[in-house]
Structure 1
Amino acid sequence: MSGTQSAAGPTTGSGPDGAAHSRAAVSGSGAGRVSAALLAVAVALNAAGAMIVEIVAGRLLAPYFGMSLYTWTTVIGVVLAGLTCGHWIGGRLAGRYRAHLAPVIGLSFWLGALTTVLVLPVTGLVAGALLRGEAAPALAIALSGLAGFFIPSLVAGLVQPMATVFELQRAAAHSGPVVGRMLAAGAFGSILGTFIAGFVLISWLGSAGTIWLVAGLNAVLGALFLPGLSRRGGALAAAGLLVPLAVISGGVTVPGFATPCQVESRYYCIRIDPADGQTGRASRLMALDHLVHSVNDEADPQALFSPYLHLVDEIARHRFADEPISAFFIGGGGFTLPRAWQARNPASDLTIAEIDPVVTRLAREKLWFAPGENTHVLERDARVALRAIPEAPRFDVVFGDAFHDIAIPAHLISDEFNALVARRLKDTGFYVLNVVDDPSNPRLLASLLRTLKLRFPLLEVWVEPRDIQGARRATFIVYAAKQPSGLEATHRATYGYRHLWLRVDPASIDIDGLGITLTDDFAPVDRLLSGLWLGGD
């Protein structure tokens, strides 16, 4: 017999004695109950669960950090690192416990169930603590992702090498097909998990419900692999699935195992909360992921609590008085400004591109948004919606309000997108958008101005004084048009909340030294905002 001897025990030989040894080893491992089909299905479902957790990871981090390149880079890197370590450890375990692989696989699934469900409290505790400690966002994302998702991914990585060795021991003569089948099962499961998480589970069960479902699946698979439980395996499997199903179907919130979301859509973690304490009036706010996007006043739609919305309305009032306005909104959120303009003049023609129908539904149900006959909501990406509108001067105002703090969709700030906007604005119209940047080193702002300058002859930059007084970050409002806004360089609100804004001379911003031209091919938003993400000086 040709074979090798290691500290882990004898390996499978290639001759008849080796084959006999393999069969003997497998016979004591519970293989009689574990068919080749079950092994392949278990590998596929294990891989599906790992990918589902990966997709959910981004959603669990979003309420704390938003969605960004840094978020997804962390999630993908941590999950791959965990799977890599798990595959290596799983191979070592397969060599050490080759005569008892069925129970080891079963215990790995049960450990997977435990570590998966612990994702919920661990992520919340670590992310919350890092935010309270004011850690740099990129560092906080990396540490939160590592704490929450490395161990579950490692445990998921244990299964495939052990299952492959398990099947090879009883089918050594067919090693090629066995290895191919296991690799294909894992790849198929990964694909299945990716699509079912993104298109079905999160929308229907939410992030927490999806995590509970994966944990229950692991518990069921574990029960099927443990020898000596054949009579009780079905009951244990049912029990393993019963708890998560009860949590999901009953809407039960387990203390410490919930997410900050009230509602989860395909796009956002959404909260609707009272805002009376901030505004002093009966009002509510909408938070999308980690950012308060809108604050709506119940009694007075024209009471604008958010300073950047108030300034846009001040410009529109100054330019168009109470005349009907034709406007296109890039993003709806709580529909605060469309609601205000509709209330001031119902004849205004308002088009809002809000990609998330759940956001629109909640604005109607909870934030007193009741679109009139001249207010149209398009449930699609703003760029797609704007491109579908004929290229003719139509709008008095185009307002970019789809930016979430320092997470900015690059395709909505490129020169190509600006060209779409410019061709649909009237000569008297204006394009306005808000952007967050570091006032001491405004590289993204400079890039926006440099890019907008290619399409618009006149630019203005506005900011609240309190935002730039020793602050590391400020919200700038950028105005682009053929005509000036007409406001004084220091403008105090003419109505409502007593906001104050300063006009920054664009010439004082080194757009050539700090900025780059943003295109569809190259718009490195995260790099331009790296000072805010990384917390550097």
Structure 2
Amino acid sequence: MKKYLLEITVFVSGTVVMVFELVGSRLVAPYLGTSIYVWTALIGVILASLSLGYWIGGRLADKSASYNNLGWIIFLAGIGVVIPAFVKNLVFESFLGSWNQVDWAALISAIILFSLPSFLLGIVSPYAVRLKIRDLNNSGQIVGNLYALSTAGSIAGTFLAGFLIIPLLGVTKIIFLLAATLVLLSFFLLREKLWYRLFVLLFLISSIFVVSWLEQRQYKQTGEISFSTPYNEVKIFSGTDAETGRPTLNLATDRFGRQSTMFLDGDDLSAEYTRFYRLAEHFNPNFQKTLMIGGAAYIYPEYYLRQYSSSTIDVVEIDPKLTALAREYFSLKDDARLKIIHDDGRVFLNRNEMKYDVVLLDAFNSISIPSQLATQEAAQKVSEALTDDGVVLVNIISAAEGERSSFLQAEYMAYQSVFPQVLAFVVNSPDKPEQTQNIMLVALKSPQKPVLSSLDQELDSFLKQLYRGKIEPNRRMITDDYAPVDHYMSQVLL
């Protein structure tokens, strides 16, 4: 094995780098989302750290290259990889709590959490090259072979993380597994202090099982449990409705809000904005067929089936794991009038040939917006999916006016360019339109002016929350070619 030990070392190091980077994105996601800012900071910091590691590693190798030293570098990299598992909450909740700008928060958190292990892993390749070269006549071949193996390891790590271990194990357990892999690798390079490193290895391996046990214990004691899916870091937890004091079960994919919430003592809707979907009754009272993009825990689709006994609903949800969790924790049941499609919402719209009376778009959470669903072209596809009297209701997180209204302005322009009538209803605090909150954007395919009052008391109260100010088109329209959605949302969250 020693003959190929350096080749194994650079391959494993390359694998760990890419798994660590992809897992890093999931570690950050619940706190800062998965915006372009987060990915830019993560990729930039890791590449900068690797570059610095290459530079320092080359100089260290020329001075004192040895298997012993390389073993210590690998061992320390293993310790560095596991640090984010212990300090992430301190970093995000204590230090970054004072940062409202996602771009700076993402950059600082990436530096704190990911720069040290990436720097140490960057040292490995030049160090291995120096140890491998015995004859300058074939030095080029040796360098090429080792860097090819490192890149092959990175490719393997990319597929391994994305297709297998992230959905299977979850972030914290993967971090411990990466650290254990590096510490085990150091055993073959470094002979001294064997018992010390054996203790660390056993600690890391046992931590994987301890984390699983703690997750189950936490759920039994607090009703809170976390899951990794191919698309989200999901937390399910019990809570109390702030307005009514009633017990709730909640699903969240970020720290800013809840993507689904359900009363445990009744069938009525807990999330205030979902009640505004009743506006579909007012603007298209004879609707029979509804499309909903974004299912999450399927709270509203279940309510819809109870409320509208003769109507059907198709739900497009990109994440099959969320559907499975909805079945297990939120009482989702099969129904002949409910059709579930696991697909990207925009991809579904592009292929769709059905006509719907109502489209409900609930795919925009508080920090991560699928830009492909926010564009003018997406609005056009929604229009094509609607009947002549159809209506679309889009749940948006934004302010109605002021500096936090960027996303609403851009979305309003996109829908106004396609639909003859577009209305905005301020959901949570209509008396504070400058406040970030849920806003229900309603676009009507019919050019006929709607009546903005109702004999139904609840519907009439919703209609009275129509925003009557002027939505200024101060932003460029979002299109498939120009979609700075993350930039707009960073302003919304200021």
TM-score, normalised to structure 2, is 0.90
The answer as to whether partners of 1:446 and 1:510 remain within 8 angstroms in 2 is: yes
Contact residue 431 and residue 479 of structure 1 kept, 8 A: yes
Contact 2:427 2:440 survives alignment (8 Å): no
What is the CA distance between 1:289 and its match in structure 2? 3.1
1:432 aligns with 2:396: no
Whether contact under 8 Å (2:383, 2:445) holds in the other structure is no
Question: Does the 8 Å CA contact 2:167/2:229 hold for their aligned counterparts?
Answer: yes
AA aligned opposite 2:12:
L
1:499 to 1:414, Cα distance in 2 relative to 1, 3 A? closer
SS state of the match for residue 170, structure 2? Answer: helix
Q: Deviation at 1:334?
A: 1.6
User: Which residue of 2 is the match for residue 408 of structure 1?
Assistant: 369
Q: Which residue of 1 aligns with 2:425?
A: 462
Query: Superposition pairs for residues 78-93 of structure 1, below 5 Å?
Result: 78-93=45-60
**Are 1:85 and 1:157, in contact at CA under 8 Å, matched by a contact in 2?**
yes
Is the contact made by 1:261 and 1:269 (CA closer than 8 Å) also made in structure 2? Answer: no
Q: What residue in structure 2 maps to residue 336 of structure 1?
A: 299
Partner of 2:344: 381
Instruction: Give, as a single letter, the amino acid of the residue that structure 1 aligns with 2:55.
Output: W
* Partner amino acid, structure 2, of 1:88: W
Task: Tell me if 1:296 matches 2:262.
Answer: yes
Structure 1 pair 413–281 and aligned structure 2 pair: CA distance change class (3 A): same
Deviates more, 1:463-472 or 1:408-417: 463-472
Deviations 1:82-117 (A, max 9, x none): 11111111112102213xx11111001110111111
Report if the CA contact (8 A) 1:465-1:502 is conserved: no
How many residues are aligned here? 480
Tell me what 2:68 maps to.
103
Contact 2:54 2:125 in 1 (8 A): yes
Alignment partner of 2:466: what SS? strand
- Listed as ranges, the gaps of 5+ residues in structure 1 are 1-32, 255-259
The 3-state SS of whatever aligns with 1:404 is coil
Judge conservation of contact 1:275–1:283 (CA < 8 Å) in 2: yes
CA contact (8 A) 2:254 2:367 kept: no
Q: State yes or no: 1:65 paired with 2:29.
A: no
Q: Give the 5 Å matches for 1:46-57.
A: 46-57=13-24
Structure 2 residue 382 is matched with structure 1 residue 417: no
Q: Is the 8 A contact 2:406 2:491 kept in 1?
A: no
Secondary structure of the structure 2 residue equivalent to 1:503: coil
Letter in 2 for 1:340: Y
Tell me the CA shift for residue 523 of structure 1: 1.2
Q: CA deviation at 1:81?
A: 1.4
**Partner in structure 2 of residue 123 of structure 1:** 88
2:471 maps to what in 1? 509
Q: Residue 205 of structure 1 contacts residue 248 of structure 1 at CA under 8 Å; is this kept in 2?
A: no
Cα displacement (A) at 1:434: 1.8
1:270 is matched by which residue type in structure 2? V
Q: 2:132 aligns with which of 167, 170, 178?
A: 167
Q: 2:189 matched to 1:225?
A: yes
CA separation in 2, counterparts of 1:276 and 1:443?
Answer: 32
Following the alignment from structure 1 to structure 2, what is the Cα–Cα distance between the partners of residues 208 and 319?
48
Contact conserved, 1:298 with 1:367, CA < 8 A, in 2? no
Deviations 1:480-515 (A, max 9, x none): 0134564349x97359xx979621237x1222xx13
Bigger shift: 325-334 or 436-445? 436-445
Q: Could you tell me how far 1:282 is from its partner in structure 2?
A: 3.8
Which residue matches 1:18? Answer: none
What is the CA distance between 1:417 and its match in structure 2?
1.5
Shift of 1:532: 3.6
- CA distances 1:236-292 after superposition (whole Å, capped 9, x unpaired): 8876654444333562449xxxxx961111111111111334343343111123331
Could you tell me how far apart the structure 1 residues matched to 2:145 and 2:95 are? 43
In the alignment, is the contact (CA less than 8 A) between 1:398 and 1:431 conserved in 2? yes
Out of 355-364 and 432-441, give the one that drifted further: 432-441
CA shift digits 1:177-205 (9 cap, x unpaired): 11101110111111111111111111111
* CA shift in 2, pair 1:349/1:67, >3 Å: same
> C-alpha offsets along residues 293-313 of structure 1, whole Å, 9 cap, x if unaligned?
011124533x22222211122
Which structure 2 residue ranges, 5 or more long, are not aligned?
A: 216-223
Residue 25 of structure 1: aligned partner: none
Equivalent residues of 1:116, 1:152 under 8 A apart: yes
In the aligned structure 1, how far is the partner of 2:464 from the partner of 2:368? 24
Structure 2 equivalent of residue 276 of structure 1: 240
Q: Percent identity?
A: 28
Report the RMSD for the aligned CA atoms in angstroms.
2.7
For residue 266 of structure 1, the aligned residue among 207, 214, 230 is 230
Match for residue 208 of structure 1? Answer: 172
Which one-letter code corresponds to 1:274 in the other structure? S
| In structure 1, C-alpha distance between the alignment counterparts of 2:140 and 2:179, rounded to whole Å | 32
Shift of 1:398: 0.6
DSSP-derived class of the 1:114 partner: helix
What is the SS of the residue equivalent to 2:393? Answer: strand
Please say if 1:363 is aligned against 2:326. Answer: yes
Q: Does the CA contact (< 8 Å) of 1:219 and 1:241 recur in 2?
A: yes
Spell out, residue by residue over 1:28-61, the C-alpha distance to the aligned partner (whole angstroms, 9 max, x if none). xxxxx842x2111110110110111110111001
Counterpart of 1:12 in structure 2 is none
Range with bigger deviation, 192-201 or 283-292: 283-292
The correspondence of residues 294-333 of structure 1 with structure 2, limited to 5 A, is 294-301=260-267, 303-313=268-278, 315-319=279-283, 325-333=288-296
Pair member with larger Rg: 1
- Cα distance change of structure 1 residues 276 and 475 upon mapping to structure 2, 3 Å threshold: closer
